[in-house]
Amino acid sequence: MSLRDVLRIPSSELTDESVYRDRRRLLAALAAVPGLGLAACSDAAPPPPPSTVTITPEQARAGFRTSEELTRYEDVTTYNNFYEFGTGKSDPSRAGRTLRLQPWSVAVGGQCAKPGVMSLDDLLKGATPEERIYRLRCVEGWSMVIPWRGVPLANVLRRFEPNSKAKYVAFTTLEDHKQMPGQGYGALDWPYREGLRIDEAMHPLAFLVTGLYGKPLPQQNGAPLRLVVPWKYGFKGIKSIVAITFVETMPFTSWNDAQPQEYGFFSNVNPSVDHPRWSQKTERRIAGTQSKLFAERIPTRMFNGYADQVAGLYTGMNLRKWF
Ligand X SMILES: Nc1nc2c(c(=O)[nH]1)N[C@H]1C(S)=C(S)[C@@H](COP(=O)(O)O)O[C@H]1N2
* Residue positions forming the annotated binding site: 80, 83-84, 138, 173, 221, 226, 237-239
**Cβ closest to Mo ion, residue 49 vs residue 305:** 305
Cβ atoms of 14 and 261 within 8 Å: the answer is yes
Among 108, 123, 124, 138, binds Mo ion (CB under 5 A): 138
Contacting positions for ligand X (CB under 6 A):
80-84, 136, 138, 173, 192, 221-222, 234-235, 237-240
**Cβ closest to ligand X, residue 110 vs residue 237:** 237
- Using CB distances below 5 to 8 A depending on partner kind, what does residue 238 bind out of ligand X, Mo ion, none? ligand X
- Using CB distances below 5 to 8 A depending on partner kind, what does residue 83 bind out of ligand X, Mo ion, none? ligand X
Among 92, 211, 234, 260, binds Mo ion (CB under 5 A): 234
List the beta bridge partners of residue 142: 284
Would you give the DSSP letter of residue 277? Answer: T
* 207-242 exposure pattern, b = at least 16 Cβ within 10 A, e = fewer: bbbbbbbeeebbbbbbbbbbbbbbbbbbbbbbbbbb
What are the C-alpha distances in Å from 286 to residues 36, 207, 283, 295? 47, 22, 9, 6
3-class secondary-structure state, position 241:
strand
Q: Is 235 in the site for Mo ion (CB under 5 A)?
A: yes
Residues placed in the known binding site for Mo-molybdopterin: 80, 83-84, 138, 173, 221, 226, 237-239
- Using CB distances below 5 to 8 A depending on partner kind, what does residue 173 bind out of Mo ion, ligand X, none? ligand X
- Using CB distances below 5 to 8 A depending on partner kind, what does residue 223 bind out of ligand X, Mo ion, none? none
Closest distance to ligand X from the beta carbon of 113 (Å): 28
- Using CB distances below 5 to 8 A depending on partner kind, what does residue 82 bind out of Mo ion, ligand X, none? ligand X
Cβ atoms of 144 and 192 within 8 Å: the answer is no
How many other C-beta atoms are found inside a 10 Å radius of the C-beta of residue 15?
14
Phi, psi of 307 (to 5 degrees): -60, -40
Stretch that binds Mo ion, among 51-59, 80-88, 211-219, 244-252 (CB under 5 A): 80-88
Residues in CB range of 136: below 8 A, 6 or more apart: 143, 144, 145, 146, 228, 230, 234, 237
**Cβ closest to ligand X, residue 238 vs residue 313:** 238
Q: Is 92 in the site for Mo ion (CB under 5 A)?
A: no
Summarize as ranges the residues that interact with Mo ion (CB under 5 A). Answer: 81, 138, 234-235
